[in-house]
Amino acid sequence: METPDVADAKRAARKVENSRAYRTLVRVGLIAYGVVHLLIAFLTVRLATGGSDEEASQTGALRALANTPMGPVLLWAVAVGFFALVIWQLVAALLGHREYDGAQRSRKRVSSAGKAVIYLALGLSAANIALGGRSEGDAAEAAGGAVMALPFGQVLVAIAGLVVVALGVYLASKAFTDKWQENLSGSLGTAGKWAARVGHFTKGLAYAGIGALFVWAAITYDPESAGGLDAALQTLRAAPFGPWLLGAAAFGFAGYGVYCFFWSQRAKV
């Protein structure tokens, strides 16, 4: 049985859900997400050609945006967009996924809550950079080092790495199962479908690479081996045919960015 606080929260969420302004903000947020992925693709190309000092990551993309004309204005627009996505996923966590039943609905709602945390982190990062802040170093590496210092830290880092690898494999598998269509209220044309497939496959491989770095850091007891997207791409660059592989990765990130633009027009809100 629901408590009065939960019932009030659901009523408030329904009011938000039926708001035209809310739906518009969700579209803006997904467009912002697409722009960030296009910037990651650009930075990945620069990394492949040795022409970029900026991290090829979501934070690096936001910093690159800050260096453009109207940078602070654009960053605030991106931040507002991400905060709108936070509200979207919180509403989904409370009321959404009604087409599913039982445990599957619960899993979907937990997933939405997790996405809200990710979008919140991105929004705060955009706002921080817009205000002149600049986060130094690799947050993933710092987190890995902090956890490694705990009792059973190696085991925890290894488990976290395996979870991220599994998430990456699941994301990449959507390229073949087209499960990304669950997020849409309509169907996409041929171009949109291929952008979604290529984008999900590449982003999934990137997540799997990040998870693998965490597992390797746990095995070697080397926190500096852990890292985020930029570290994974740097490792890829050092591989045989690295620049060509980075070019393929950039193509995939660009595909995901284009998919976000299609998604913004057909988001299941």
Position 2 pLDDT exceeds 60: no
The DSSP result for 174-199, as a single string, is: HHHH-GGGGGBSS---HHHHHHHHHH
Query: 86-145 pLDDT, tens per residue?
Result: 888 888 888 777 777 778 878 888 888 888 888 888 888 888 888 876 554 455 555 555
Which residues are paired to 154 by β-bridges?
Answer: none
SS3 at position 55: coil
Residues in a beta bridge with 267: 184
For 58-74, the pLDDT digits (tens) are 777 777 777 777 778 88
CA–CA dist 203, 198 (Å, integer)? 9
Among 14-23, 216-225, 240-249, name the most confident range: 240-249
Question: What does pTM read for this prediction?
Answer: 0.76
Residue 133: the pLDDT is: 67
Residue 53's pLDDT is what? 58
Instruction: Judge residue 237's burial from the number of C-beta atoms within 10 Å of its C-beta, 0-12 exposed, 13-18 middle, 19 or more buried.
Output: middle
Q: Which of 12-16, 29-33, 168-172, 250-254 has the lowest mean pLDDT?
A: 12-16
Residue % of the chain over a pLDDT of 70: 78
Average pLDDT, the chain: 78
Length of the chain: 269
For the chain, give the longest Cα–Cα distance.
60
Q: What is the DSSP string of 101-168?
A: -HHHHHHHHHHHHHHHHHHHHHHHHHHHHHTT----S-HHHHHHHHHHTSTTHHHHHHHHHHHHHHHH
DSSP letter, residue 267: B
